[in-house]
Amino acid sequence: MVKQDAAETLSIDGREVRITNPGKPYFSREVKLSKLDLVRYYLSVAPGAIAGIRDRPVVLKRFVDGAEGEPFYQKRAPDKRPDWLRTVTLSFPSGRTAEEVVVDDAPGLAWIVNLGCIELHPHAVRAGDLDHPDELRIDLDPVPGVAWDDVRLVALETQNLLQELGLRGWPKTSGSRGLHVNVRIEQRWTFTEVRRAALALSREIERRAPTLATSKWWKEERQGVFLDYNQNAKDRTTCSAYSVRPVVDARVSAPLTWDEVPLCEPADFTVLTMPERFATLGDPHDRMDDSPGSLEQLLELAARDEAAGLGDAPWPPHFRKMEGEASRVAPSRAKGGVKASKKTAARSPRTKMPLIVVANSPNKDAALAGLERWKARHSDVAAHLAVEDVLVDSMRGRSSTWTRIRVNLQHVSEELRPPQESPDPDDDPTREWRELRAKGKS
């Protein structure tokens, strides 16, 4: 049995915050960082980190076993919390509600990090108006194998478009493989309207940089850098500025100036380097709230797309089917093609992709090991795979996450394609719940 360290109480801005088991390893591979090290990091950049979450409900993504362990999402505020910590009640597309934490200061920041919140996940709304976002979120997510240079080029193309539309984008590294561009907007539009604007922006960038960018929702159809418009749907969150990411070098989601984007490297921004950068340069995004912009021109672009026959694109799976939405069935699962509606009749039919699932596991390393075992069994097939043919999906249930790995056999001749086998491993944490639900419907 591992002996836990005695708790340490920190005095922060006149409040006392108890850090339990402060020496617990949170990063132990490439860098060595304890829970207390993470708390001290966040306190060193507190003005910037708090600016990204202040007055916003926060989803608690808890890594209770450190960055190498599997996290879980906790929407509801813990029953045992300081009386000085605010909460607000959110409603979700499912109809459920949850009382979520609102962090406004450094003590609150330290308190949620003590819960294991390595990353910070605020909603795009303020506590005073939970129905109208004040932020358009542009998430540039490269598919596997895409060069970092391409991500930067798409970000710069995004900046050019935003300037044409009279909007100001604020770039930051995601802390993983992509870039985020946040746009402060007037609180005049609903989540549905903000997402519609994001979809129009994504499609326009795809038109301007067709070899680099994509707005395609289904992973099997993507090539290049995906502009994830659905990050603007209600109930979706992304990591905010200065968030630490669970990668081996403890990278940070680093706010940048646009002059830094062409030469920036994600690995330059870590828990070890960010405090000095912050102390020297301050927060590059400290003026973000000064001039909120209008979505009117983006919504006009959306209307032009719709008039030209481009209807809505797929929503996340837990949302109800929306009017005008394209089929929510992945091309690889479509039967007999997609039935065309009046709004989608002009579109070309989707090609069904030959996908097979090779691994499901709450542990990403275990899933990747399963992929390697599959490749070893089917070495003649693996030799034909392109980088983008291996789809590593981060799946999210109500409170759990897991990794699903699929292989697209589009570049493998039909006579060589292996059949769907039992995934190895096959530890989908939602299976039992889905089977029970299916029995209840039968």
What pLDDT sits at residue 429? 72
What pLDDT sits at residue 138? 97
Q: What is the mean pLDDT of residues 411-416?
A: 84
What pLDDT sits at residue 332? 67
What pLDDT sits at residue 344? 42
Is the pLDDT confidence value at 319 over 90? Answer: no
Instruction: Give the tens place of pLDDT for each residue, 211-220.
Output: 999 999 887 7
Lowest mean pLDDT among 51-65, 318-332, 353-367: 318-332
Q: What is the mean pLDDT of residues 66-78?
A: 92
What CATH number was assigned to the domain covering residues 1-130? 3.90.920.10
Q: Which residue has the tokens 């828990």?
A: 271
Q: Does domain 132-333+345-350 have CATH number 3.90.920.10?
A: yes
Say if CB 66 and CB 28 are below 8 A apart.
yes
In sequence order, the 6+-apart residues with CB closer than 8 A to the CB of 113 are 35, 38, 39, 42
Rg (CA), the chain: 22
> In which band, very low, low, confident or very high, does the pLDDT at 316 lie, cut at 50, 70 and 90?
confident
**pTM of the entire predicted model:** 0.78
CA nearest 256: which of 241, 276, 272? 241
Say if CB 32 and CB 25 are below 8 A apart.
yes
Is the pLDDT confidence value at 5 over 80? Answer: no
Burial class (CB in 10 A: 0-12, 13-18, 19+), 227: buried
Is the pLDDT confidence value at 347 over 50? Answer: no
Say if CB 134 and CB 120 are below 8 A apart.
no
For a pLDDT cut of 70, what percent of the chain falls above it?
Answer: 88
- Examine domains 1-130 and 132-333+345-350 and report if their fold is the same: yes
Strands (E), 154-248: 169-173, 179-184, 213-214, 225-227
> In which band, very low, low, confident or very high, does the pLDDT at 432 lie, cut at 50, 70 and 90?
low
Q: Which two tokens stand for residue 402?
A: 């897991």
Is the pLDDT confidence value at 427 over 50? Answer: yes
Q: What is the DSSP string of 223-289?
A: -SEEE-GGGGSTT-----TT-B-SSTT-BB--B--TTTGGG--GGG-BTTTHHHHHHHH--TTTTGG
Give the DSSP letter of residue 308. T
What pLDDT sits at residue 382? 85
Instruction: Give the tens place of pLDDT for each residue, 244-253.
Output: 999 999 999 9
Respond yes or no on whether the N-terminal peptide bond of residue 266 is cis (omega within 30° of 0).
no
Is the pLDDT confidence value at 438 over 50? Answer: yes
Q: Where are the domains of the chain?
A: 1-130, 132-333+345-350, 355-441
DSSP strand pairing (15-19 vs 8-12): antiparallel
Say if CB 401 and CB 395 are below 8 A apart.
yes
Euclidean distance between CA atoms 100 and 78, whole angstroms: 9
| Residues facing 429 on adjacent strands | none
Dihedral over alpha carbons 246, 250, 254, 260 (to 10 degrees) = -130
